[in-house]
């Protein structure tokens, strides 16, 4: 594993979990088969620009100094964005395709990324289409159904491509 890959994984861990020491990170990385010393992890944390703070529950944790807040954007924000901009949601295996009016996909994709919905590996936004990759255990169908519910779409009446224009 390269330094960049290790630092990326450290960033993901401190974003999603309450970790308060480099030693905890070393243990967590080792549980994933990533070998790193405490000194290496400490240097990584310095290079990532992390600081220790108390979160809203009073727990000490390591966060990136550039992070605007510890918690993710509320699900209500995603619900508003999807309700306003999503016109259809389709799935295949572990992929979900979300369609919006032209020029609006990036708005929904940003809200989706910041919401940190469980089971979403990532998303790619174009002009009017977002490709969302679901974790295998979650599956595209379950994720698509959640997106339809958030967007207020009636599952029994999918929009045809001609209706999107």
Q: Residue ranges per domain, the chain? A: 3-64, 75-164
Tell me the per-residue pLDDT of 18-68, one tens digit each, with 9 for 90 and over.
Answer: 999 999 999 999 999 999 999 999 999 998 888 888 877 788 899 887 644
Specify the fold of 3-64: Arc Repressor Mutant, subunit A (1.10.10)
Least confident of 62-71, 76-85, 140-149: 62-71
Using the predicted structure, report yes or no on whether residue 158 has a pLDDT greater than 50. Answer: no
- Whether residue 115 contacts residue 123, with contact meaning beta carbons closer than 8 Å, is answered with no
Instruction: Tell me the average pLDDT across 113-120.
Output: 85
The pTM of the whole model exceeds 0.75: no
Give the Cα separation of 30 and 32 in Å (integer). Answer: 5
SS3 assignment, position 51: strand
Confidence of residue 73 (pLDDT cuts 50, 70, 90): low
* Helix/strand/coil for 111: helix
pLDDT of 69 reads 45
Q: What is the CATH number that goes with domain 75-164? A: 3.30.1360.40
């Amino acid at each position: 594993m390269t330094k960049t890959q290790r630092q990326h994984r450290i960033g993901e861990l401190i974003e999603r979990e309450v970790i308060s020491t480099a030693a905890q990170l070393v243990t967590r990385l080792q549980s994933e088969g990533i070998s790193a010393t405490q000194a290496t992890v400490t240097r990584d944390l310095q290079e990532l620009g992390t600081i220790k703070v108390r979160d809203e529950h009073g727990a000490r944790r390591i966060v990136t100094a550039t992070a605007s807040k510890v918690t993710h954007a509320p699900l209500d924000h995603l619900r508003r964005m999807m309700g306003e901009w999503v016109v259809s949601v389709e799935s295949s295996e572990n992929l979900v395709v979300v369609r919006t009016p032209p020029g609006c996909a990036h708005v929904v994709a940003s809200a989706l990324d910041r919401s940190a919905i469980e089971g979403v590996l990532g998303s790619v936004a174009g002009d009017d289409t977002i490709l969302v990759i679901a974790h295998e255990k979650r599956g595209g169908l379950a994720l698509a159904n959640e997106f339809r519910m958030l967007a207020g779409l009636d599952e029994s009446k999918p929009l045809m491509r001609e209706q999107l224009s």
